[in-house]
Every structure is written in structure tokens, then in C-alpha cells.
Amino acid sequence: MNKSDNKTLEQRFRFPIVLVSILIPIVVAVLFTVKLKDFGIEVEPLSFLPPIYASINGLTALLLVMGVMAIKNGNQKVHERFMTTAIACSVVFLVMYVAYHMTADSTVFGDVDGNKILDAKEKEYAGSTRYVYLFILLSHILLSIIIIPLVLITYVRALAARFDKHKKIAKITFPLWLYVAVTGVVVYLMISPYYAN
């Protein structure tokens, strides 16, 4: 593959990347509000999924770090495998996350009695931890939207063997993606005490 073919490969993926980067957040937002029970489909909440998809976030973070270590040691094939697996893990996470939220009501941080309403006493009990949780959650959500095109562009540049451009964008993509993966675990650990309610 010559240099112009590589550039053409990048150009061919430009529209699909833009499309996927717009559609995924919209579809997830819509599906997040859809509950199967609203359509007469009675399904038990998939309450076993949150610890699994939190673990997948943890695995993604580990794969990202090992992938960077592999490329720093000059092992391009291992790097490629780690990063491809990290993308696959992110897709599996997304499917599980949407499936869970289509079968279960959202959990409110600090809702000790499980009535989905945070009263004054519960707010006081949660204290400033609630604001820390909300900050981490909102930054996680915002960056998970931003990371979609960055990951795809970074990956396509590697496929196109445009490693100079790949390396340049990977320096931005890696820390943001790592933040999203790690905060996914943190969000789960912080909200999980309220799941049983």
C-alpha cells in the first residue's frame, strides 16, 4: 500500500467515523430512556451486569496501559492486539450498559431508602461525596462521547500505516480513553451501594 492509498483509506473512513460518532451517543441516549416494561415486555432487571461492565472498563484500562507499554518496547503486533481488544471491550461494555438501563430504573446516588427521590436527610448524609460522584460521572459521560471519534481516527491512522499522524493523535486519545475506562470503574464503585435499594 503506497502513501496515497493510505491517505485514501483515511478519507474513505472519514464519513463513517463522523456518522458513528454522532449516532452512538444519540442511540445510547434514546435507548437509555427506553424501558422494555413500557412496551409491555416484562423482563427482570439485568442486575448482574453492572459489576461485569465495570470489570470490562477495568480490563480496558489495563489493555490500554499494556498496549502503550508494548509500543514503547517496539512490539507493534502486541500493541495492535491490545488496542483492538480494548476497542472490542468498549463495544461489549456499551451493549451491556444499554441492556442494563433498558431493564432497570436509574439508581440515584445517596438514595438510601430506594424510592428514587433524594430527600433532604439523604442529601445531607451523602454530603460532598455526591458532588464528587456527579463530577466524575459527568466528566466520564462527556469524555466517553468525545473519545469515540478520537479512538476511531487513531485506529484508522494505524490501519493506514500513517504512524506519524497516528502517534500524534494517540497522545491525546490515550489519556482521555484511560480516564473514561478508570472513571467507569470509580462510578460503579461509588454507586453500587445504592443498587440493592
pTM of the model: 0.89
Task: Please say whether the beta carbons of 34 and 27 come within 8 A.
Answer: no
pLDDT of 113:
84
pLDDT of 117:
84
Please, what are the averages of pLDDT over each run of 10 residues along the chain (197 residues)?
A: 64 91 91 81 87 97 98 96 97 93 86 84 89 96 96 95 94 98 96 78
Task: Please say whether the beta carbons of 126 and 109 come within 8 A.
Answer: yes
pLDDT of 184:
96
pLDDT of 41:
81
Task: Please say whether the beta carbons of 159 and 12 come within 8 A.
Answer: no
Cα separations in angstroms, 78 against 1, 82, 86, 151, 158: 22, 6, 12, 18, 13
**Which residues, other chains included, contact 55 with Cβ-Cβ below 8 Å and sequence gap of 6+?**
185
Write down all domains in the chain, each with its CATH number in brackets.
3-194 (1.20.120)
The x, y and z cell numbers of residue 125, run together, are 448524609
